[in-house]
Structure 1
């Protein structure tokens, strides 16, 4: 862990987290069933106070936590991150009643949260979502305004096993991103069903079907028709920390490669004696450090309320996830066939590292965000109309 930009207390905390990940969390995770919510792991994260920190930490601390956990136990990192992603809208935009009902249970690991934004035809283009929230005055009851949710969500992490979902639905047809509302929908709400998808993932990913699911004003997160802000605000916070997750995996792959190439006999010496190998390892380290620093910079900008947060967040996620793919792939190549054996660290990382380049906005989407923000920040040439 580099000292640059980190205070001694932060470095010590990262070291403590890496130890906890390896000694306390990994043994629990190894007993879990792939593709299912690991409630025992969530309970352990709760006992360690890490889930509660989702609601008390800034963006940089979130990145440090995710990077450190990913280094030693990717399953624990992902379980923590999904709790944060699903519950952050409740923390940031929920009513006192919503927060009191759900946040303590998320913090102790007894309630599983999920962020339900993506749809089959509206994954990367979140503003194109089609889940309808049709007005239903009868559904409001004492709360006043009511709706019925009709449609589907897909590629939802923790579905169909979550206890509640932050759901984004269209309340104003034809209004694009300005006609979306965020709702807190408990899993036992009538008309809500889900099914698991068989994915290359250690945690559950599923589809949700909404058959006239009743919601009221009491279920709205933030303001009606302003839910896109809730979604983008959540993603701006979590995108740099997806990069931190990637950096943690890259660092683990780098360390494994350093150890392997330093002791592996080859061509009359050690593998590390070969210049082509040493240069590849140097490139792995260079890219990992560059990605780490960009992640820290984006998180610090978020915490400081600096301008350009969406651009910085997109840059951090893009660079870090693409870097981790390169580093892990190179590590596998330098290890050879042993790295593809089931149970090997790199076999595990090789499966884990691919998905972050897609979720929370694919790499192509991040490039689009960066370009859009750059052009928006660039004033027109003198003498030309804006």
Structure 2
């Protein structure tokens, strides 16, 4: 198999996922409350065996899942992705005890995970985190199994699944003034004293909130990875999930394209069908061209990750950038070709128009992806 051609079994699995999303997941999504965690939907994702795949799949399989689910039910796609984003640091960097306690519950959909990186003044610049981890006993290092540790103080905001998650992967500054080298990742259960949260009313329909840390206690047993090496945990997670954000965007773009093909083939206009107008046909062709180009770049980036290629950061950034910008273009064109009906509440394109905007910002805005790409290109030039 190459990055540019899926096997028949993979294509069949994608078709099965689209059918499951339409028949089993979309009805549950419709019963959910916008801006709230849909636990019934998560439980069904677990029952269908999709959440467990978060911990056994490679990057390409994750992309195929996200693209297929997004095509039929964006709510299901997002619920699955957020579970993976919040729990991947535990899977990849957690202790045996952390994994044993949380991952089976995440896989079953009974525990809600969240990835808490962003702060009011540290969004795209993740190395500028100011949530502070102060030693609980000054001068005494934290010890596994011991009472000594840290107290977390500060804020996180725009955190998906907050404030309803059952645990958070939290990134805090353990060494002042050290930039990316002084950040530690912690697994913080939601019931820790001093941790509170509020929901935010956002354009995107999935739950997003802010968290406040008032001397929240954590110990060495809560560390994910190594002390002062949490930035690596964050980047490892984002390098995996950035191509799959692109896959989410490709799924939405394909849904918008499919709707546009059907509409323009049926809609009467100027003595024929809309598709007979060259201006319309050329727009549809451009939508298809960009969607397929983005899909191929997402698959290539995911395959590079699975193969351990050295250029994963650049490929991941390129895939997320191209796919999310493409999806914005395709959905916007689809709305234009549908006319006013696409702006009516409840229309597929009205839903996609609200959904498609956020991926260009989260997990690294488009401008950040361009900076990553340029940095990697110049680094390669210096290495020659």
Q: TM-score, normalised by structure 1?
A: 0.97
Distance apart, 1:284 and its partner CA: 0.1
**Counterpart selection for 1:281 from 280, 284, 296:** 284
Distance 2:87 2:371 in 1: 27
Contact 2:183-2:229 at 8 Å conserved across structures: yes
What is the alpha-carbon distance in structure 1 between the residues aligned to residue 266 and residue 149 of structure 2?
Answer: 66
Residue equivalent to 1:339: 342
How many angstroms does 1:142 deviate by? 3.9
CA contact (8 A) 1:140 1:215 kept: no
- TM-superposed deviation, 1:143: 2.4
Q: What is the aligned counterpart of 1:216 among 195, 200, 219? A: 219
- State the match for 1:377 in structure 2: 380
Deviation of the 1:5 alpha carbon: 2.0
**How many Å apart are 1:309 and its aligned residue?**
0.2
2:169 is aligned, of 166, 169, 173, to: 166
- Partners of 2:17 and 2:73 lie apart in 1 by 10
Aligned equivalent of 1:237? 240
Q: Equivalents in 2 of 1:281, 1:56: separation in Å? A: 37
The aligned length equals 380
Aligned to 2:81: 81
Kindly indicate whether the alpha-carbon contact (under 8 Å) linking 2:59 and 2:240 is maintained by their aligned counterparts in 1: yes
Which residue matches 2:255? Answer: 252
Cα distance per residue 1:119-143 (max 9 Å; x no partner): 0000000000100000113886942
Contact 2:22/2:73 (CA < 8 Å) preserved in 1? yes
Whole-angstrom distance in 2 between the partners of 1:71 and 1:56: 23
Residues in 1 aligned to 2:44 and 2:145: alpha-carbon distance in whole angstroms: 39
SS at structure 2 position matched to 1:378: helix
Distance 2:4 2:267 in 1: 32
Conserved 8 A contact 1:140-1:147: no
Alpha-carbon distance between aligned partners in 2 of 1:352 and 1:143, rounded to the nearest angstrom:
45
Q: How does 1:143-182 map to 2 (within 5 A)?
A: 143=146, 145-182=148-185
Q: Does the Cα contact within 8 Å between 2:199 and 2:208 map onto a contact in 1?
A: yes
Counterpart secondary structure, 2:329: helix
1:204 maps to 207
CA contact (8 A) 2:145 2:220 kept: no
TM-fit CA distance, 1:101: 0.4
Residue 61 of structure 1 pairs with residue 61 of structure 2: yes
For 1:124-143, what aligned pairs fall within 5 Å after superposition?
124-137=124-137, 142-143=145-146
Distance in 1, Cα, partners of 2:383 & 2:351: 49
Match for residue 98 of structure 2? 98
Could you tell me how far apart the structure 2 residues matched to 1:142 and 1:380 are?
44
Unaligned 5+ runs, structure 1? 382-386
Deviation at 1:307, TM superposition (A): 1.4
Q: Quick one: distance in 2 between partners of 1:145 and 1:221?
A: 16
Equivalent position SS for 1:159: coil
1:355 aligns with 2:358: yes
Q: State TM-score, norm by structure 2.
A: 0.97
Provide closer, same or farther for how the CA distance between residues 156 and 278 of structure 1 changes in structure 2, counting only shifts above 3 A: same
- Kindly indicate whether the alpha-carbon contact (under 8 Å) linking 2:4 and 2:299 is maintained by their aligned counterparts in 1: no
| Map of 2:117 onto structure 1 | 117
Q: Could you tell me how far apart the structure 1 residues matched to 2:111 and 2:249 are?
A: 26
Aligned partner of 2:71 in structure 1 is 71
